[in-house]
């Protein structure tokens, strides 16, 4: 409805202008005498603008925008590459750290084991030595004991002999005395 009203508003003065044969009647929009000039200059200016846009503006703008897009995607690619490289390096570092700690643990445990072994060996050796020393000294003690016992016996017998010889003529033999002593 609005649309037809609009057309009516435009057509009414046009028809009136025709009827009266006047140029200036009604809206300037309806002055048919200006139409060729307007159309002519519209064609010229718009064609100029179209050619300018088509040949000058659009190729340059589209290449600039494309270049920017390429640059941005390249930069993003580079950043992604660097990022993956960095994460690779980090992984490498972690791996190395892990292996190093494993190695050091191994070294610590192996050195502990060798130390223990050494200590055990030392202990055993010392024990053996001590034991042999103990048995030797025991033997020595035993020997000395026996020797001193015999010496004591002999001395006793000698003493007894000398005592007895003072009181009795017939001195008993050593065997007899030792039998009596035991």
Partner 1 sequence: MAADNPIDPIHQFEISKIAEMQIAGIDISFTNSSLFMVFAIAATMTLFILGLSKRSIIPNRMQMLSELSYNFIANMLRDQVGDQGRAYFPFIFSLFMFIFFCNFIGLIPYTFTVTSHLVVTFAFAGLIFLAVTIIGFMKNGLGYLRIFYPSGIPIFLAPLIVPIEIISYLSKPISLSVRLCANMLAGHSILKIFAGFIVMLGFLGFAPLIFLVVLYALETLIAALQAYIFTILTCIYLNDALHPDH
> Judged by CB under 8 A, does residue 18 bind partner 1?
no
Residue in the block written with tokens 């035993």: 142
Would you state the structure tokens that stand for residue 113, as one six-digit string?
A: 């084991």
Rounded Cα distance, 141 and 73, in Å: 99
Q: Which residues within the stretch 59-98 sit at the binding site for partner 1 (CB under 8 A)?
A: 60-62, 64-65, 67-68, 71
- Least Å from the CB of residue 69 to partner 1: 10
- Dihedral angle computed from the Cα positions of residues 60, 62, 64 and 70, in that order, rounded to the nearest 10 degrees: -150
> Judged by CB under 8 A, does residue 27 bind partner 1?
yes
Candidates 40-48, 103-111, 149-157, 163-171: pick the segment binding partner 1 (CB under 8 A).
40-48
State the CB neighbour count (10 A cutoff) for residue 48.
10
How many chain residues bind partner 1 (CB under 8 A)?
Answer: 39
Q: Give start and end residues of each alpha helix (H) in the chain.
A: 2-20, 35-51, 58-167, 174-181
**Cβ neighbours of residue 174 under 8 Å, at least 6 residues apart?**
157, 161
Q: Which is nearer to partner 1, 48 or 108 (CB)?
A: 48
Would you state the structure tokens that stand for residue 52, as one six-digit string?
A: 């300018």
> Judged by CB under 8 A, does residue 23 bind partner 1?
no
Size (the chain), residues: 182
Candidate residues 1, 19, 33, 170; the one interacting with partner 1 per rule CB under 8 A = 33
- Least Å from the CB of residue 99 to partner 1: 46
Residues near partner 1, by CB under 8 A: 3, 6-7, 9-10, 24, 27-29, 31, 33-42, 45-46, 48-50, 52-54, 56-58, 60-62, 64-65, 67-68, 71
């Amino acid at each position: 409805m609005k649309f037809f009203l609009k057309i009516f508003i435009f057509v009414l003065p046009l028809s009136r202008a025709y009827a009266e044969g006047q140029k200036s009647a009604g809206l300037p929009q309806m002055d048919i005498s200006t139409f060729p000039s307007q159309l002519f200059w519209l064609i010229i200016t718009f064609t100029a603008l179209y050619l300018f846009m088509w040949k000058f503006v659009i190729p340059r703008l589209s290449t600039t925008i494309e270049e920017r897009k390429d640059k941005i995607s390249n930069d993003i690619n580079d950043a992604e590459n660097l990022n993956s490289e960095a994460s690779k390096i980090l992984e490498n570092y972690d791996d190395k750290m892990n292996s190093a700690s494993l190695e050091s643990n191994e070294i610590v445990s192996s050195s502990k084991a060798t130390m223990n072994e050494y200590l055990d060996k030392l202990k055993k050796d010392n024990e053996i030595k001590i034991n042999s020393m103990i048995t030797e000294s025991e033997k020595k003690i035993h020997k000395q004991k026996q020797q001193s016992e015999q010496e004591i016996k002999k001395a006793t017998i000698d003493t007894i002999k000398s005592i007895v010889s003072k009181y009795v003529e017939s001195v008993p033999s050593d065997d007899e005395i030792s039998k009596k002593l035991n």
